[in-house]
Structure 1
């Protein structure tokens, strides 16, 4: 994934951050690490929902859930099409989790607070889920707004219409924005639209997630890769974003756009 001692990857051709004035973050598996144990809980709740809806055992429900995910992009989209499920009911059930496993992330909060410009969350989850998790991380107050799956009319990333709807609603110029996201395929359209793209991957492979979701994919639509978001902001963003360094910090050279 990375060379020994390496936590970030970029190329000289990659778009930089000098002109960025809007910072957009995915939520799940991007703003928190795998040891927060958030996604495994959500995933288990989704399986339980499928079990109850179809009267299946756990293994069968799990298999159907993953079939839906690969065919439709999200289980919710599949259930809306296949079973006319109320999306709000599904989201309330899936996100009814224990938040005590989420730790305050002071370093990430400080880094996000220092970003020059607007900060937004763009998630395939619900607003309530995003706000609950961000509040536990100690970063909610740094964000202007949350664009959730309901705001996207329940059309999930990576559909182009979702990104276009987000950009239009919040008046974001994609050429002056950066998107931080944990799934490589979700960065294809944003890059085509002109956004600087950052793939956030786990430091250790999470067995509760699909392997392709965790790959440090080095492709043209991905400008940067990191397995430490707070450190990436400090080391690779601030030196070229126009943000004033904290006294005592040594700027790290970076590429402009």
Structure 2
């Protein structure tokens, strides 16, 4: 194990564009559903709905948070609608399943999505039984990453010591609050739209464009 990781006893992973490659592009399908939801909800055309969607995302952390703040949107209704997508583009990832199984300690998923969607994705990847828990947007009290309360709440709920935890995430802004409470951070810089960063900032400890390869390298088992 890499010397900078000897102290890690909890491995925490974002879901989308982290546990599967950004090229899978599930978000493109979800993005269309979000635009449709806003268009239907507010009676605006697709162009205006998409503009509002992106505005809410950047100002509130998630489109859902913006919709709740501005329009009192029911989160269960929104999440069920936008996650009603086919997952046939998600491939079983035997290397990742093997690498995560070899990690010493606990493993959790920490996602701004909801558990039913996350479980469907994990099952497609072959990771359905690989994690102790999924800490989702409902567990966060509907206050998403990167709000600091999401991180402290996750640690409190599952008894995670942030100083002995690693958090892997494709959205670099979501790593800053993790680092602030003492987590080791891994940026999955795989070109996802949401990453939105050109270089490695000070709150990123490790960086990779391939999670399977990175984990394999540090467990010493995969090529």
Paired with 1:29 and 1:50, the residues of 2 have a C-alpha distance of 23
Give the corresponding residue for 2:212.
230
Q: Which one of 199, 208, 220 corresponds to residue 217 of structure 1?
A: 199
Aligned to 1:5: none
The corresponding residue for 1:7 is none
* RMSD (Å) for aligned C-alpha atoms: 1.7
Please point out which of 200, 203, 216 is paired with 2:188: 200
Q: Paired residue for 1:164?
A: 152
Aligned-pair distance for 1:74? 0.9
- In the superposition, the TM-score normalised over structure 1's length comes to 0.83
TM-score w.r.t. length of structure 2: 0.95
Which of the numbers 34, 47, 50 marks the counterpart of 2:38?
Answer: 50
Deviations 1:21-62 (A, max 9, x none): 100000011111123231111111111101101111111111
Aligned to 2:104: 116
Task: Choose 1 or 2 for highest CA Rg.
Answer: 1
Structure 1 CA distance, aligned partners of 2:34 and 2:90? Answer: 20
Q: Tell whether 2:10 aligns with 1:22.
A: yes
Alignment of 1:48-87 (within 5 A): 48-87=36-75
Secondary structure of 1:141's counterpart equals coil
Are positions 1:186 and 2:174 aligned together?
yes
Whether the aligned pair in 2 keeps the contact of 1:20 and 1:178 (CA below 8 Å) is yes
Matches within 5 A, 1:26-37: 26-37=14-25
Q: Which has the higher contact order (CA 8 A, sep 6+)?
A: 1
- SS state at 2:167 partner: strand
CA deviation string 1:183-234 (max 9, x = no partner): 11111111111110000021xx45xx25xx2435311100011001011011
Runs of 4+ aligned structure 1 residues displaced above 6 Å come to none
Contact 1:199 1:216 in 2 (8 A): no
